[in-house]
Structure 1
């Protein structure tokens, strides 16, 4: 199985490759990708350097062009596809049909991966994207049980990639409405769940901190309490007189214990979430998964889960806790 790791900037790309990633995924410094945070992503020269660094070591670079342009902006995304082909990326990761169609027609030699933002959760959806746009791979949304993943691997006309570790999303990717409800800017169209210009932090005399998103109170943190980047889905709200994480607790997906089962199912790539995370996160998580995958491939029958691997991953998990998420859902 291929290990696909996040690269939010050039240092993270190099660290991911050095730590054992088979491929990295990156984005341009604009709204064509779903992690368009200030200070992240690549300009043309940086991406060219990153591609050269990866290719010199036999690794690959995928470019995320996975947001949804409206008709007035489609030419901008088409230009990004052209630029990706010019730079020599190994594949683009796209969700919107117009973008996929343009890439298929203009650059048929460049591989096209269906993004998780494409929300393809059925064999019929995968078949459509394969027949219409010639996709070479699809990334499955993080809403499927492991049994559903296994069945899709049997029925899919293309190889499948799944998220193995990182921040979870409670919505079906590509269909989130929560952030645009508060800010008027959709993560699917503008690239971020909580645009930085709408985020306001305030410190108080008792050393607590509050964070608001477009004026809406999202969370309050006590002194010394770890505070994550504010999103509506992971805020704390008053419901029935009680204040708690009403929608989703901050936690990270961790499927390490499922590695043998995913391998037997035929999953071709394991994806690490976290382009918005730093190089230390990328190095630790990529290195841990590299060791686990290598041990499995060396001797599948005798593979066992190493507690040190789990400890290393938990240290970099959101909220310092992990979950199997929908993978272990009883109903499917």
Structure 2
């Protein structure tokens, strides 16, 4: 399933999120080449009630994926606690026992354990490691045998190309889903407001900290008491995160940090393929199985079309319509990949 290093225009893998066994099954059946998932503990960054896999579900999910030619990538992408590193090491061992094809890791101690105890296990460098240069990626390759690196969503398209030209490690990029103004999940804003790390809490705004209040001025969204947005009665309300709230700045009320938009790279898919990107990742382990199924179908069709005839490739209206209904804020952006002001 992995493309030849010397075939830069080879078809990239479609890597889709699986927050549940049902999401895994629908993603695989809709054409995912690989799914990524996590265990029900703090070893993954979506440690959230109602999500993730116990051992039995993971075994069933691996069997479903493998029977259809798809791979299972297990996210062990948080940093081990100083007083409980054994939990992370046990998760590495469990991944091997349960048949995962690769681990997605950020912590060097976790990677060292995997390399020492399971030298044949494939390691992918998590976006949480924030490796944005080919030199950083080469370090992880040299020390831990990392075979793929997931690039953070802060690089421009030219920077992605520079990394690809200077590494023999497979490169995976995000194609669709949520954006983050922070360094991939290490959010000082959410931590300040709630006292909980977004990685360890499994989500940017823990439900226990979110409150909605009807007032004469509209519906207020508060995070641990902090007012982060106010909506008119008829206005659609998104999932309330501090960075995507509206604030009064110099007398103007607007999205001060980031608008609620979804990354969508469909328009530049032939360029990503031509550069030699090995995998396109869809964000969203906290999304519904129906969301995962619909997004996977669109991206399966798009990748196949772009790889088969890049010169004739165009974004179909039905793809745009489907993703538009699923996008955050029902808006799309190319994110950092396209910075026309540079």
**TM-score per shorter chain, which class?**
over 0.9
1:181 counterpart = 2:198:
no
1:315 counterpart = 2:290:
no
8 Å CA contact 2:186, 2:197 repeated in 1: no
Instruction: List gaps (5 residues or longer) in structure 1.
Output: none
**Shift of residue 246, structure 1, vs aligned partner:** 0.9
1:12 maps to which residue? 23
8 Å CA contact 2:270, 2:307 repeated in 1: no
TM-score with structure 1 setting the length? 0.95
How do 1:47-196 and structure 2 match up within 5 A?
A: 47-196=58-207
Q: Distance in 1 between matches of 2:64 and 2:234?
A: 40
Larger displacement relative to structure 2 (234-243 or 160-169): 234-243
8 Å CA contact 1:179, 1:193 repeated in 2: yes
1:141–1:39 CA distance, 2 compared to 1 (3 A): same
Q: Distance in 1 between matches of 2:153 and 2:138?
A: 19
Give the root-mean-square deviation of aligned CA atoms. Answer: 1.6
8 Å CA contact 1:37, 1:196 repeated in 2: no
SS at 1:157 equivalent? coil
Larger displacement relative to structure 2 (164-173 or 197-206): 197-206
8 Å CA contact 1:23, 1:59 repeated in 2: yes
How do 1:32-51 and structure 2 match up within 5 A?
A: 32-51=43-62
How do 1:219-298 and structure 2 match up within 5 A?
A: 219-298=229-308
8 Å CA contact 1:116, 1:174 repeated in 2: no
Match for 1:26 among 34, 37, 62?
37
Could you give the per-residue CA deviations for residues 169-206 of structure 1, whole angstroms, max 9, x where no partner exists?
11221543111111121124443222222222233477
- Equivalenced residues, count: 331
Larger displacement relative to structure 2 (288-297 or 253-262): 288-297
8 Å CA contact 2:221, 2:228 repeated in 1: yes
After TM superposition, what 4+ stretches of structure 1 lie above 6 angstroms from structure 2?
Answer: none
Instruction: List gaps (5 residues or longer) in structure 2.
Output: 1-11
